[in-house]
Amino acid sequence: MFLHLYSNNFCKKAKKILNNPLNFEMKKQSFLESILCNLNSKCKYKNIIYKIYKKEQDFIKENMKVIEEELKALDFPYFYYSYNNQVFHYYIDYVRDFFKIKETGQIKESKYLLRLIKFFYFNELLFFIENDVVKFEKDGKDLIIFPKKDYLKYLRRRWFAIQWEKESQRNDRVEIEIIKQLSIKYKNISIEIFSKHLMDKAFYLKEDYISLKNKKKTQYVFMKNLCTFLSILFLSKDKKYILMILYSHILILKKIF
């Protein structure tokens, strides 16, 4: 996860912030260094952010066992729904990935999730500051942090790729729902359509663009029959029909091998 942060454009020193967020510590400054740092806005704000980060880091270390127990019991789909915000979803995924939480529980209240999100947010922020890809602006009491011009181009490209992928996933869900509705009246046609859909998504093969010669090849016939069989299992509720088609496909596979 978050492989985009491991580009060659990022320095190795800064990557340690992400690799070991619970063990990362900034070098202690001497008295003179701290005075000079206060004269430099970037250094000054970095120190402020690190203090917040360090506080959350110490808290997590001290409460690691209870935090892990709570995370294992949380109903994560509920929290995804409650925080209907892509940024929250991103950091919830970040938390689950870091603590290796694959299952979901039933508890719908959390003492620690927001603090964990806060910690990983500042962890990433320190990473970007260290790489010098963000800049600061003071607006009254508010500190505004935004990407520099060159890095903004990279973020825009990445945002477009993410939106493209999401739109593709949405179209897939709509297409599958239409096929399921079609299967109520036209079972054989819907199985054929869904089989083509699987061929495209699983093997990146558009059946309409494959030559007759290639369609006769053993590998293609196997993939086609596999996708057809999976389509039958997905769309058909008739057990006798499934068994009949399954038997016919077994006979075909015997001929192939």
Q: Measured between alpha carbons, how far is 60 from 120 in angstroms, rounded to an integer?
A: 11
Q: Measured between alpha carbons, how far is 79 from 82 in angstroms, rounded to an integer?
A: 5
- Residue 80 near residue 89, CB atoms below 8 Å: yes
Q: Measured between alpha carbons, how far is 248 from 257 in angstroms, rounded to an integer?
A: 15
Q: Nearest 5°: CA angle at 104, between 102 and 106?
A: 165
Tokens 């993410």 found at: 162
Q: Measured between alpha carbons, how far is 61 from 72 in angstroms, rounded to an integer?
A: 17
Q: Nearest 5°: CA angle at 28, between 24 and 29?
A: 140
Q: Measured between alpha carbons, how far is 190 from 193 in angstroms, rounded to an integer?
A: 5
Q: Which amino acid is at 28?
A: K
Q: How far is CA 4 from CA 8, 97, 98, 157, 193, in A?
A: 10, 15, 16, 12, 35
**pTM for this structure?**
0.60
pLDDT in tens, the chain (257 residues): 344 444 455 556 566 777 788 888 877 777 677 777 777 777 888 888 888 999 999 999 999 999 999 999 999 888 888 877 777 888 888 899 999 998 888 999 999 999 999 999 999 888 888 888 888 887 888 888 888 888 778 777 877 777 777 777 778 788 888 888 887 778 788 888 888 888 888 888 888 888 888 888 888 888 888 888 888 877 776 555 555 555 555 555 545 44
Q: 193: which 2 tokens?
A: 């359509």
